[in-house]
Structure 1
Amino acid sequence: MLSVTCAIIIRDGLVLAVQRGKKMKMPGKWEFPGGKIEANESEENCLIREIKEELHLNIKIAEKLPEVIHHYPDFTIKLIPFLATIESGELYLSEHQAYQWLSKDKLLDLDWAEADEPVIREILKRNNAKWNFLDK
């Protein structure tokens, strides 16, 4: 099983979605940014490192969400999501081909990687007052 972290990055009440590049598995699918946990690396440190490498952003982790285990035809993933905000940096894509800032009600409009779909459902259940608090 592949253990992967992902960040639900919130800014101005919007959520960051990134589109997988043509050379990645599942090209064109949308996902929350993140990556594989390296040996002896904590989930939080992995996520901070991956977001810095992939998006050139420094993030602050706010809360861990429920993990998702998803079975694709050729591999199984354990997706470990975290709510986060941007501390500094300018968004620049290193691996992905596109990004969008979306309101919660627009998240389902994209063609998401299947493992990310339960994370979206979790986000949609959340109280907007708590959601907006993260962004202050």
Structure 2
Amino acid sequence: MIEVCCAIIVNEEGRVLVTQRSARMSMPLKMEFPGGKIEPGESPEACLIREIKEELDLSIEIIAPRPASQHQYPAFSILLLPFICRIVGGTILLKEHAAYAWMEPSELLNCDWAEADIPIVHQYLNPSNHVSSLTNK
């Protein structure tokens, strides 16, 4: 099983950053929360900070972990470890993705998500699990 971290990056207005996988990546042009594979000996938090810097040239602060989700693709399975985050530095520079968008939470279900991200979207949208204001952090 591949352990992967993903960032649910929320801005001051409550919009969520979503990224579109490039045409050359597996699951081409699907939407996802950005992140990547945990390296041996690396903590999930360190992985996420590294991956977001590598993929988007952003510095992030991790606000809160979210429940993990396991997904079985035909050729492999992943354990997806999501974290609510906010940007603390940098400007988005796409290094691996085709596109990005800041979306209202109500728009998230309209995206063509990578399958493993779908439970994470539903979990984020569940009002009983929602992280309140990030503006006072």
TM-score normalised per structure 2: 0.94
Match of 1:89 in 2: 90
- Structure-to-structure mapping, 1:1-20, within 5 angstroms: 1-11=1-11, 12-20=13-21
Take 2:118 and 2:91, find their aligned partners in 1: how far apart are those partners? 27
Aligned residues: 135
Amino acid at match of 1:98: A
Take 2:8 and 2:131, find their aligned partners in 1: how far apart are those partners? 14
Amino acid at match of 1:2: I
Amino acid at match of 2:7: A
- Structure-to-structure mapping, 1:64-79, within 5 angstroms: 64-79=65-80
- Structure-to-structure mapping, 1:1-136, within 5 angstroms: 1-11=1-11, 12-126=13-127, 130-131=131-132, 133-136=133-136
5+ residue gaps in structure 1?
A: none
Instruction: Measure how far apart 1:130 and its partner are.
Output: 3.7
SS of the residue 1:53 aligns to: helix
Take 2:126 and 2:35, find their aligned partners in 1: how far apart are those partners? 22
Instruction: Measure how far apart 1:88 and its partner are.
Output: 0.5
TM-score normalised per structure 1: 0.95
Query: 2:123–2:129: 8 Å Cα contact kept in structure 1?
Result: no
CA RMSD of aligned residues (A): 1.4
Amino acid at match of 2:19: V
CA offsets per residue over residues 48-90 of structure 1, 9 Å max, x none?
Answer: 0000000000000000000010000111010000000000100
5+ residue gaps in structure 2?
A: none
Amino acid at match of 2:134: L
Query: 1:14–1:104: 8 Å Cα contact kept in structure 2?
Result: yes
SS of the residue 1:134 aligns to: coil
| Distance 1:75-1:126 versus aligned 2 partners, 3 A rule | same
Instruction: Measure how far apart 1:129 and its partner are.
Output: 7.9
